[in-house]
Amino acid sequence: MEQPEDMASLSEFDSLAGSIPATKVEITVSCRNLLDKDMFSKSDPLCVMYTQGMENKQWREFGRTEVIDNTLNPDFVRKFIVDYFFEEKQNLRFDLYDVDSKSPDLSKHDFLGQAFCTLGEIVGSPGSRLEKPLTIGAFSLNSRTGKPMPAVSNGGLWMESLRTTGLEASGGVPGKKCGTIILSAEELSNCRDVATMQFCANKLDKKDFFGKSDPFLVFYRSNEDGTFTICHKTEVMKNTLNPVWQTFSIPVRALCNGDYDRTIKVEVYDWDRDGSHDFIGEFTTSYRELARGQSQFNIYE
């Protein structure tokens, strides 16, 4: 899906953005137990984040994650980077969709639920990790497509621009819980380095009954509470036990937020069309080790 041009800028997030002390914060989104809207497979979720204007209270789209196929428990790689103004209440809204086509028009996709919070809630939660239930809330049918659309909250009041109807189409009733959204925030360092890397593997386990594995890599950075935050996925290499993945570049602050000794975990999976990817193995490293380049220090069992 292409990103729409009409998105909120950081300056629109707060009219006093030039005078209030701010820091850049990266928001990571995960969800668990989403509604399953597809008849013969799982949903293909997308998360859209909105910011609310300080004066006019209007919601503006800030950004979208990538679409993840066939999962009810997505961990989105694409992040939202926002300015955090310490003395201001910054309202956020997260809408989840099951994507049915390549159209950027959200009304053409199935609405899965939404959650509201403030940026301060996320940052101030233990470990800067906030869990909230997704709800369908009050919703309306789009007059062109007949699909349910999310309600919009202005100043704490629910505003419905279209007639409220279509409970069956939404998969539930207003207020129904539709899974959980997990929002994690981390203050970004000033590191501007970019790492360019390439990985290969030899003699991976064969996970497919009629062929070789279809391996891909998932990269995570460690958190202080012992959890890990996803930060990169490679492409899938089809039908091979000795993959050589394409070279990729990634900002160092996305990989380790400028801490060269921070633990990085890399997991290897065998891709399956139905989303139930088979775990092959994992290893841990750090950016300091990876920066040594091709050597005996960068060979992992």
Least confident of 35-49, 152-166, 173-187: 152-166
Is 23 part of a structural domain of the chain?
A: yes
**pTM of the complete model beyond 0.85:** no
Do 159 and 224 lie in one domain? The reply is no
Do 149 and 221 lie in one domain? The reply is no
pLDDT score, position 189: 92
Do 200 and 175 lie in one domain? The reply is no
pLDDT score, position 210: 76
pLDDT score, position 264: 98
Domain boundary among 164, 187, 210: 187
Do 113 and 21 lie in one domain? The reply is yes
pLDDT, tens digit (0-9, with 9 covering 90-100), for 65-85 = 999 999 999 999 999 999 999
Domain boundary among 119, 152, 187: 187
pLDDT at 39 over 90: no
Is 21 part of a structural domain of the chain?
A: yes
pLDDT score, position 92: 97
Cα first-last separation, the chain: 37
Do 107 and 148 lie in one domain? The reply is yes
**pLDDT (mean) for 121-140:** 87
Domains identified in the chain, total number: 2
Domain boundary among 187, 205, 227: 187
Is 270 part of a structural domain of the chain?
A: yes
Which range of residues forms the domain containing residue 150? 10-187
pLDDT, tens digit (0-9, with 9 covering 90-100), for 192-215 = 999 999 999 999 988 767 778 999
Cα separation, 156 vs 282, whole angstroms: 46
The domain spanning residue 272 has which CATH number? 2.60.40.150
102's CB contacts (< 8 A; 6+ apart) are 1
249's CB contacts (< 8 A; 6+ apart) are 194, 195, 196, 197
pLDDT at 13 over 60: no
Do 180 and 200 lie in one domain? The reply is no
Cα separation, 135 vs 113, whole angstroms: 5
Least confident of 14-23, 181-190, 252-261: 14-23
The dihedral built from the CA positions of residue 125, 120, 2 and 169, taken in this order, carries a sign that is positive
Is 5 part of a structural domain of the chain?
A: no
Provide, rounded to the nearest whole percent, the portion of the chain with pLDDT above 90. Answer: 63
pLDDT, tens digit (0-9, with 9 covering 90-100), for 216-269 = 999 999 998 899 999 999 999 999 999 999 999 999 999 999 999 999 999 999
Q: What is the overall mean pLDDT for the chain?
A: 84
Do 179 and 203 lie in one domain? The reply is no
Cα 140 from chain centroid (whole Å) = 26
Burial class (CB in 10 A: 0-12, 13-18, 19+), 228: middle
**Maximum alpha-carbon separation in the chain:** 65
**pLDDT (mean) for 295-301:** 72
Residue 33: name the closest of 133, 172, 151 by CA.
133
Say how many C-beta atoms besides its own lie within 10 A of residue 24's C-beta. Answer: 15
Cα separation, 148 vs 274, whole angstroms: 26
